[in-house]
Structure 1
Amino acid sequence: MAPNRIIIDTDPGVDDILAMLLAFSAKLEELEVLMLSVTFGNVDVHSCLRNIITLFHFIEREQAWRRENGRPEGFETLKACKPIVAIGAEEPLAEQMMVADFFHGIDGLGGIHHSHPHLTPSETWKSLFRPTPQSTTPEEAAALREVQAQHLLFTPSQKPAHEEMLRILRESPPDTITIVAIGPLTNLAVAAATDPETFLRVKEVVVMGGAVEVPGNMTPGAEFNTYADSVAAARVFALTSPNPHTTMPPTLPGKGQLQAYPEKLSRRLKLKLFPLDITGRHLLPQSLFKSHTSTLSASPLTTWTTAFLTSTYQKVFSIRPEQDPNALGVELHDPLTIWYCLTSNSPSSGSGWRFVEEDIRVESSGQWTRGVCVVDRRGRATKEREGEVGGEVPGDTGNWLDRRCGNRIERCVGSPGVDVFAGLWLDRVFGEV
């Protein structure tokens, strides 16, 4: 079985880190992680980048500890392919920037860079993402190469993330690359606007975002990722429509407008959506995490994950103090998308996933409804219409009932097992399988 080749677009964030740990602990035949595309989101983009570098730092330390203790090193995907790390969007396309540091902490990991400074790697890595000055001496260049050689698990890029994303898609056969988007969709929207036909070479886009039939976690109706850049989400969702112009967001005054898509595109985007409806049901209980790692206290990875998860469990309890402390759990929003990618190529292990196709649109201009996912629940059948595509039909404002219009989103409604995922994550990440 050929591995699923993926690009992870991410804004780490606690659950983003948990997702990447699962991805990097995959078997060689399951996943090949080609790139980490960094965006703003849970915190500012540079804090997100620091969390990614810290992740690699602790994977490297964990591998060394496992070798010393006669354990399998794990993280096979990183041995086979060093992912590119590239910096992307620093702010949303048009709206006011909002971050989720109220939950994830000022640094995205519960503030551990301040509370546990000994767990933060030296900041020499910053030079990896800056162009080498022309005035650099041979000695300075050699020192820079030495710094780069220390980071053996990834390849730093000085190009914008959307350019690297498009390059990988352009150089790969169509339908061989999956983009896993677990943050705001700004990088994807910029890539799609820059070169829509190259972007549409993607096999599918797997998105953690939105809330359809459950409350939001940012506003009563909106999930954070769609709220953080609703214009970007609406633009990416529009590519799933047979006629994208029918669901494109209105032009908003902003920091720079992206160009419209061509009227005719060669294909529709295949997009699988993992909203709060499904992700919020998959938990990593604190009691299970503690019991599983109790014999691994000397493990660097255990030390690091315990530090930021302890802070996260405390935050979860502070938000809902009425809950049973013994049932406390962190919702595995982003890791669920990786579980899908791990299993989607396997007829046996991937058989538990269930999806429904819906016309889901993202509100980008409402006073109270920024980032809300809107679905037509009137129960009226769509029809074949005549005349101009996207022309308003009396009684059908928004063209919800015209088959030529509307988005085609595959929403996840079922996984292989709500109760088994936390154990699977723990076993894989801490080297038990």
Structure 2
Amino acid sequence: MPQKLILDTDPGVDDVLAILLSLSSPELQVVLISIVFGNTHAPVAHSNLLKIYHSLSKEIEQIPDAQSRYGRLAEPNQKTMLALGEDGPIGGEKAVAAYFHGPDGLSNITETHPHFTAPKLDPSTPHEHLEISTKASYEVMLDILRHEEDDSVVIVALGPLTNLAHALRTDPQTFSKVSRIVWMGGALDHPGNTSATAEFNCFADPFAASEILEGCKAGLFEFILAPLDITTPHAIPFSDLIHPSVVKIPNSRGELVETDEEPTPLQAFVSAMLVRVRGLQASFGLEDSMEMHDPVAVWYALAHAMQKRNSPPLEGWKVVQREFKIERIGELTRGMCVTDRRGTGESNNTDRSKDEDLKSFGIGKKDEETGRMGEKIPKAKQLPWVITKTPGIDELRRVLLGRVFGTKVDE
């Protein structure tokens, strides 16, 4: 039986690969795609999702292998719901990541490759693969959780946590039925990718991220982070992702692959989207590969499908509990994950100027459980889990390329 999954996303370039990975994974049944602002504005992200399905439908029609890879889309009564969510943060100024993802979130292919645009929705004609809701996505999210058994639905969040925060505010009891939340977000011991200190999803709505974090600490649900610390090293060469008929890129052996084959509809769509990204990364002096931020979060979810909350990770994976808080309004530190590095045993981010009994924190004592200074965790508090190890980039490359494109990867 597949794991029921709610995918909360702001379709930009790496979201596309994560969405396709979730839809091509038999371990998962995507029951809702919930759209949020982030890489672009929410209505544009909504149209991007329709672009993905437009290319995916062509892939299934034209490529026999795709019919088995994306077989769940053809199952009767298995349509995925699509709902538009929030177009701005619950607090602070709105920010979108057009600097990386382009004005439409997909490297501006709306203008450069208009044939990838999906036909305009006709209210009188049902979508082939989607059930399109007129409700706000957080309301649909809550409807699903109300009707499903406790601990049976996983949420994977690939953008700002605004929709989730609205759901938590509206009905915390229902929201706490979720099995776990897996979020691509934050940076704990790694530089930011939007500011010097903040990862974009955390920066875009730090108020929402803070509310979800505090809900976890209150014991309402399990919260698992895939921060930049673990996602950044997981990069797949552009030569694996951009079809050689579009751009000739040396492979890992330095060879230029010659081909007379035309790209499949999905290969053409993804290639068009990534050519601009490749050039942008080259301008930053980065390696000729695409960091798989969002796919890592989906990979974790599919690897742990049908596990109950608070189950240990599978072999090859490692998670650790971390105490931190999220800066919401800092001029230079908005969206920063603030960890207490003093090593004194004080409660996380204690302000000594306002504390009346420093002795109660056991300053200078070594934590018997962790072997570290100042890491003692109060027993009543549930902390978020942070992914610190995966089965490795080669395994992600094999899984993603094989499932999304049907590409066999050399061992």
* Correspondence for 1:403: 378
* Correspondence for 1:261: none
The 3 A distance-change label for structure 1 pair 79 and 210 is same
SS at match of 2:398: helix
Q: How do residues 339-354 of structure 1 correspond to structure 2 at under 5 angstroms?
A: 339-345=299-305, 350-354=314-318
Post-superposition offset of 1:296: 5.5
* Correspondence for 2:326: 362
Structure 2: gaps spanning 5 or more residues = 246-258, 348-353, 362-373
Matched, 1:336 2:296: yes
The 3 A distance-change label for structure 1 pair 210 and 340 is same
Superposed CA RMSD:
2.5
My pick for the range that moved more, 72-81 or 212-221, is 72-81
* Correspondence for 1:205: 181
* Correspondence for 2:16: 17
* Correspondence for 1:93: 90
Matched, 1:431 2:406: yes
Post-superposition offset of 1:346: 8.0
- Deviation track 1:189-221 (CA, whole Å, cap 9, x = no partner) reads 000000001000000000100001010001111
- Deviation track 1:135-181 (CA, whole Å, cap 9, x = no partner) reads xxxxxxxxx323x2xx2111100000000000100101100000001
- Deviation track 1:293-313 (CA, whole Å, cap 9, x = no partner) reads 857624111111110011111
* Correspondence for 2:337: 373
Aligned residues: 369
- Deviation track 1:334-355 (CA, whole Å, cap 9, x = no partner) reads 0111111111148999421100
Whole-Å separation in 1 of the counterparts to 2:296 and 2:187: 15
SS at match of 1:193: helix
CA contact (8 A) 1:382 1:402 kept: no
The 3 A distance-change label for structure 1 pair 89 and 291 is closer
CA contact (8 A) 1:33 1:77 kept: no
Whole-Å separation in 1 of the counterparts to 2:260 and 2:292: 23
TM superposition score normalised by structure 2: 0.84
My pick for the range that moved more, 93-102 or 422-431, is 422-431
* Correspondence for 2:220: 268
CA contact (8 A) 2:36 2:160 kept: yes
Q: How do residues 31-430 of structure 1 correspond to structure 2 at under 5 angstroms?
A: 31-67=28-64, 72-80=67-75, 81-122=78-119, 124-125=120-121, 144-146=123-125, 148=126, 151-242=127-218, 267-290=219-242, 297-320=262-285, 323=286, 327-345=287-305, 350-381=314-345, 393-395=356-358, 403=378, 408-430=383-405
Whole-Å separation in 2 of the counterparts to 1:352 and 1:346: 18
Structure 1: gaps spanning 5 or more residues = 128-143, 243-266, 384-390
Whole-Å separation in 1 of the counterparts to 2:66 and 2:16: 23
The 3 A distance-change label for structure 1 pair 216 and 230 is same
Whole-Å separation in 1 of the counterparts to 2:92 and 2:66: 49
Whole-Å separation in 2 of the counterparts to 1:425 and 1:26: 9
Post-superposition offset of 1:292: 8.4
CA contact (8 A) 1:43 1:108 kept: yes
The 3 A distance-change label for structure 1 pair 407 and 319 is farther
Amino acid at match of 1:62: E
CA contact (8 A) 2:324 2:337 kept: yes
